[in-house]
A = this chain, B = another copy of it.
Amino acid sequence: MSRRVTGPEIERLIQLLARLPGLGPRSARRAALQLVKKRDQLLIPLAEAMAVAAQKVTTCSCCGNVDTADPCAVCTDPQRDRSVIVVVEDVADLWALERAGAIDALYHVLGGTLSPLDGIGPDDLDIAGLVERAAQGEVREVILAVNATVDGQTTAHYVTDRLQGFGIRVSRLAHGVPVGGELDYLDEGTLTAAIRARQPF
């Protein structure tokens, strides 16, 4: 702001809020004002929740999920099929698949994709941990649920090579028309993939 209209503590709160994904400078100001207006119902509880999270949050040493317990709620869930590991790039992908209730298996978070241009190599991802889990023999199938991007597919191929020799079935997500998708708006690659992978009706 051109001149000071509020305290430095509030300016700092706005600056930090603006660094959250989905919040720009303007929405950060709106959020800060909302927080201040709802001091007892929102600001104080959120400050406390963040302090608790900062203190307790950890990364699952087995799958890389974010949790307050290690191993995480997924790895310790007795209901899951422990013979299937779904490999994802990011924790957000793990959570998305869980929200969909797509599969009742274990996960492994790589923490990104191979990207030579950005200098991200195999050692920067948790591929060794995946291979280690695969070597333990309990795993029958690894599903590569990486993004359908160039880097994602490169990573998928690399991981597949690393999993050779364990007698593990390696699969990837199907390409095709998104449910609810309109052909008219889909790219050629998706349409071609959908035709190639056509199913008996």
B51–A92 touching, CB < 8 Å? no
Q: Which of A48-63 contact B (CB under 8 A)?
A: 49-54, 56-57
User: Oligomeric state, in number of copies?
Assistant: 2
* Chain B residues positioned under 8 Å from A91 (CB to CB): 33
A101–B2 touching, CB < 8 Å? yes
B22–A56 touching, CB < 8 Å? no
The reply to whether the CB of A179 lies closer than 8 angstroms to some CB of chain B is no
The reply to whether the CB of A139 lies closer than 8 angstroms to some CB of chain B is no
With A20-B34, A21-B31 known as contacts, the answer to whether A10 contacts B65 (CB < 8 A) is no
The reply to whether the CB of A183 lies closer than 8 angstroms to some CB of chain B is no
Output the residue of A16, A72, A74, A98 with the most chain B CB within 10 A. Answer: A16
B6–A73 touching, CB < 8 Å? yes
* Chain B residues positioned under 8 Å from A29 (CB to CB): 92, 95
Residue tally, chain A, CB below 8 Å to B: 61
Q: Give A69 to B11 CA distance when docked, in angstroms.
A: 13
Q: Give A65 to B54 CA distance when docked, in angstroms.
A: 32
Pull 18 A–B residue pairs with CB atoms less than 8 Å apart, ordered by A.
A1-B98, A5-B98, A6-B72, A8-B68, A10-B53, A10-B57, A13-B50, A16-B45, A20-B42, A23-B23, A29-B92, A29-B95, A33-B91, A39-B57, A44-B54, A47-B54, A50-B50, A51-B51
